Amino acid sequence: MTGTTLDDYTDRYARRVRGMTASEIRALFAVASRPEVVSLAGGAPYIAALPLDAVGEMLGRLGSEHGVTTLQYGIGQGTLELRERICEVMSLSGIDAACGASPEDVVVTVGGQQALDLVARLFLDPGDVVLAEGPTYVGALGVFQAAQAQVVHVPMDADGLIPEALETAIADLARAGQRVKFLYTIPTYQNPTGVTLSEERRERVLDICERAGLLVVEDDPYGQLGFEGEAPAPLRARRRDGVFYLSTFSKTFAPGLRVGWILAPHAVRDKLVIASEAQILCPSGYAQAAVATYLSTMPWRQQLKVYREVYRERRDALLDAMADLMPEGTSWTTPAGGLFVWASLPDGLDSKAMMPRAVAARVAYVPGTGFYADGTGTDAMRLNFSFPPPERIREGVRRLAGVMEQEIAMRRVFGAVGGAAGRRGRAGSDVPGPDLA
């Protein structure tokens, strides 16, 4: 022991460990799971909306009748049956055989998170740059930071990623001699903002990346959870070359099964499989069989409609409560799908500093700082509406609004309660308020 750390192994860790930081969302789980706390924090789907009796019977049969295969090792790419079902799912969004989608180019992963990690392992060297929306998914930031890559954020507005800002970022980095490997984007019902990249901008973003020689990593966990008509076609439905399409069954079926996938350019498929085998040997045969059987034998398209109706009702409950209860100066996005609303706070409030007082008031959210690589975004927060029922959502907003009012009152008396540094959740990222979204 040196007397300066509680960790005896500090000087033995690999250099890449220095970039690893705890997820602000995961750190909230212990608090947010308490029954007295209204959690507007995590992104948990409403699993109770599933036909759980039928799902339970299906899972039991997979063990009792097919255990010899479902409980055995499998192949690293994933079962052909599931990859075929995945192609059927993607075809609903326009990613079909006509644009080169094939079971041969699908790699099954342990959720969307492993898919991100595999892409990072294949393409990122220490010091490489990843372009990503600002703000972006906290889990992706963890993967890129663990790969010792630098994340440079590209601003958004009500129509999603701003193409001109993307061009500027690419040019600035080129002048600085920095190596940009790919654009990471969640173009549809984005996490954390709920914003969707417009139809016109999708083509422009693809053109910019193609001219710059950048790969595009499209993360699409929420694309089938739209409330207001059809979402724009995914980027992968428009271009097959240079676009990696990542998705998961965590939001549309069951996150506990941990099943996701990558649709990759054909030349990369084998390397993804090799990298996955080095990590996990093979994805769970039981989990794959569960998803494949669900998609083959149960009315999963109807279940998507159930989820959409449940989430639309809860989104409306959150937006109505915010309109009624939030203090003046608060603004927020109006998502057309997905699970999240992004709220910008009145001037002077700091979402991270305010968090302990919110927890004391028995309400949880995720501070905006978790969604920026540099820890900015203190003037914003992500609110989830998928899990609590509408009446609990309204109660959570009431408690949160009360905390914010107290913070505003304290600021009037004592001055700013948070520093000016780190404020980019609204002005810097240009994520819209209710009059824009």
255 and 361 assigned to the same domain: no
- The whole-model pTM stands at 0.91
What pLDDT is attached to residue 110?
Answer: 98
Q: Is residue 9 part of a domain?
A: no
Q: How much is the pLDDT for 15?
A: 74
The answer on pLDDT for 431 being more than 90 is no
- The confidence score (pLDDT) of residue 1 equals 42
Does residue 272 share a domain with residue 244? yes
CB–CB of 80/253 below 8 Å? no
Cα separation, 49 vs 55, in Å, equals: 11
Same domain, 88 and 181: yes
How many separate domains does the chain show?
2
CATH of the domain at 381: 3.90.1150.10
Q: Indicate if 273 and 333 belong to the same structural domain.
A: no
With respect to residue 436, please indicate whether it lies within any of the assigned structural domains: no
Contact 71, 285 (CB under 8 A): yes
Residue 101 has pLDDT above 60, yes or no: yes
Whether 79 has a pLDDT exceeding 50, the answer reads yes
Secondary structure of residue 180 in the 3-state scheme:
strand
Residue-range definition of the domain harbouring residue 325: 15-48+300-413
Higher pLDDT among residues 426 and 162, named by residue? 162
Share of the chain above pLDDT 90, in %: 83
Q: How far apart are CA 154 and CA 162, in angstroms?
A: 7
For residue 148, which of 279, 18, 11, 22 has the smallest C-alpha distance?
Answer: 18
Contact 305, 406 (CB under 8 A): no
Which pLDDT score, from 0 to 100, does residue 420 have? 44
Q: Quick check: 239 pLDDT over 70?
A: yes
Where is pLDDT greater, at 404 or 228?
404
Q: Do 35 and 77 sit in the same domain of this protein?
A: no
pLDDT of residue 270: 95
Domain check: are 136 and 271 in the same one?
Answer: yes
Write the pLDDT tens digit of every residue in 376-425: 999 999 999 999 999 999 999 999 999 999 999 988 887 764 444 444 44
Instruction: Considering only residues 433 and 32, tell me which one the structure prediction assigns the higher pLDDT.
Output: 32
**DSSP track, 205-258:** HHHHHHHHT-EEEEE-SSTT-BSSSPPPPPGGGT--TTEEEEEESTTTT-GGG-
Higher pLDDT, 419 or 372: 372
pLDDT value at residue 229: 85
pLDDT category, 269, cuts 50, 70, 90? very high
What ranges make up the beta strands (E) of 96-163?
Answer: 106-109, 129-134, 150-157, 160-161
Let me know if 154 is exposed, middle or buried by CB neighbors in 10 A (0-12, 13-18, 19+).
buried
Q: Give CA–CA dist 49/207, Å, rounded.
A: 40
In a domain, 5, yes or no: no
Distance separating alpha carbons of residues 325 and 427, to the nearest angstrom: 23
Query: 226 pairs with which residues across the strands?
Result: 337
